[in-house]
Structure 1
Amino acid sequence: MSARRTARSKLLAAASARFYAQGVASTGIDVITADAGVAKMSLYNNFRSKAELVAAYLDGRQQEFLDVHRRLAAALPADAGPGARALTVFDAYVEHADGADFRGCGLLNAAGELPAGDAGREAVAGHKAEVERLLREALAPRDDADALAEHLSLLLEGAMVRGGLEGDLDRVRRARAIAAGLVGED
């Protein structure tokens, strides 16, 4: 691994931890470089601005979720029905978020700190649309796939917000149980 790649990885890891724990706005560049153990210039050699670092953080969180989802979906039996396929989205959220100090969805938390029209907010909106698309595709060929995917997406995101406010991932687990009933997998 090149020194530049190593510094980039260290910076992203440090930024991810701080952005999730303390927020994007309250996390300064100096803290990130100190946590990463790299010189401040390394940050600017890898990211043109803090906004670019935030964008990489948002994309990284989404990619982590997608990787978990792909693994869970691939583990389903070949004859799994639409309901079981849709529930893998909930399972991926739970697995991706499971751990100490649950604060909700890192993407939504960051978006809440960014001003309207910010590219980061637009990226988060795109990531959330992708989650709804995954649900829609999982539910196909059901006639109600579009409407049900929207309902499940709202249920899932609402549970992430409430769970984050309460510091309790159990809200998301309960949302999964509700979703199981909605898709006929209870």
Structure 2
Amino acid sequence: MNVRERRGSARGRILEAAGRRFYADGIASTGIDAITADAGVAKMSLYNNFASKAALVEAYVDARHEEWLGLYRARAALAASPAGLVLAVFDAYIDHAAAAHRQGFRGCGLLNAAAELGADAPARAAVRRHKEEVEGILAEALGGGAQADRAADLSEHLCFLLEGAMARAGLEGQDTRLVRARAIAADMLDRL
């Protein structure tokens, strides 16, 4: 389903409204009535498209994951080297931070969501899969084969750098920490 179709459908409008509200106000603070009002749909329309609020939250997490992958793929397409692919991960997070958010930049929407969810929530598992995929993208860019263990260690290290920077950027409401983390990563890669 393309963006134009999503925006026109009740499901798409609900998901977009939920995404704005969940990111700005949090999942627990966002009621179904606020989402349906923002989406311009009846409550029954929400339940015709999502079995529960938990299902809507999981769809939100999946949509955020796809949004990030799109940002990463656009940056990766411009990369001319393995180091460029690594930095494309940082650039995708910087691009996300630069995107307009109605209530301002609040950090990683996926981690914000995970913090509100129970340990066994399907959406929390989806957040974990996203973070593991990002780490896998980094490890793949850093190389496999005989260097697979080193690539895995370095990708984990870069993820710690990235997640720490994202947390601080979210607290500060701007991308400065992410830009700095990218520079640190670039310096690390130059030293390899």
- Asked whether the two chains share a fold, i.e. TM above 0.5, the reply is yes
- Alpha-carbon distance between aligned partners in 2 of 1:87 and 1:148, rounded to the nearest angstrom: 13
Q: Alpha-carbon deviation of 1:2?
A: 7.8
Report the counterpart of residue 96 of structure 1 in structure 2.
96
Please tell me the residue identity of whatever aligns with 1:165: L
Please tell me the residue identity of whatever aligns with 1:147: D
How many residues align structurally? 182
Identity %: 58
Report the counterpart of residue 77 of structure 2 in structure 1.
74
Aligned residues: CA RMSD: 1.9
Task: List gaps (5 residues or longer) in structure 2.
Answer: none
- Alpha-carbon distance between aligned partners in 1 of 2:162 and 2:90, rounded to the nearest angstrom: 7
Please tell me the residue identity of whatever aligns with 1:123: A
Paired residues of 2:18 and 2:35 also in contact (CA < 8 A)? yes
- Alpha-carbon distance between aligned partners in 2 of 1:64 and 1:109, rounded to the nearest angstrom: 16
Q: Given the two structures, how large is their TM-score scaled by the length of structure 1?
A: 0.92
- Alpha-carbon distance between aligned partners in 2 of 1:54 and 1:2, rounded to the nearest angstrom: 20
User: Secondary structure of the residue that 1:24 maps to in structure 2?
Assistant: coil
Report the counterpart of residue 128 of structure 2 in structure 1.
125
Report the counterpart of residue 45 of structure 1 in structure 2.
48
- Alpha-carbon distance between aligned partners in 1 of 2:93 and 2:84, rounded to the nearest angstrom: 15
- Alpha-carbon distance between aligned partners in 2 of 1:15 and 1:54, rounded to the nearest angstrom: 8
Matched, 1:111 2:117: no
User: Secondary structure of the residue that 1:116 maps to in structure 2?
Assistant: coil
Matched, 1:169 2:169: no
Q: Using a 3 Å threshold, how does the CA distance of structure 1 residues 158 and 2 change in structure 2: closer, same or farther?
A: closer
User: Secondary structure of the residue that 2:9 maps to in structure 1?
Assistant: helix
Deviations 1:55-110 (A, max 9, x none): 01000001011011111111223xx2x21210000001111221341100000000
Please tell me the residue identity of whatever aligns with 2:87: L
- Alpha-carbon distance between aligned partners in 2 of 1:161 and 1:73, rounded to the nearest angstrom: 23
Matched, 1:138 2:145: no
- Alpha-carbon distance between aligned partners in 1 of 2:130 and 2:45, rounded to the nearest angstrom: 28
Paired residues of 2:68 and 2:92 also in contact (CA < 8 A)? yes
Deviations 1:31-74 (A, max 9, x none): 00000000100000000000000001000001011011111111
Match among 176, 180, 183 for residue 186 of structure 2:
180
Report the counterpart of residue 151 of structure 1 in structure 2.
157
- Alpha-carbon distance between aligned partners in 2 of 1:2 and 1:115, rounded to the nearest angstrom: 32
User: Secondary structure of the residue that 1:109 maps to in structure 2?
Assistant: helix
Task: List gaps (5 residues or longer) in structure 1.
Answer: none
Please tell me the residue identity of whatever aligns with 2:169: G
Please tell me the residue identity of whatever aligns with 2:83: G
Paired residues of 2:97 and 2:174 also in contact (CA < 8 A)? no
Please tell me the residue identity of whatever aligns with 2:188: L
Q: Using a 3 Å threshold, how does the CA distance of structure 1 residues 2 and 103 change in structure 2: closer, same or farther?
A: closer
Q: Alpha-carbon deviation of 1:178?
A: 0.6
Report the counterpart of residue 56 of structure 1 in structure 2.
59
Please tell me the residue identity of whatever aligns with 1:153: C
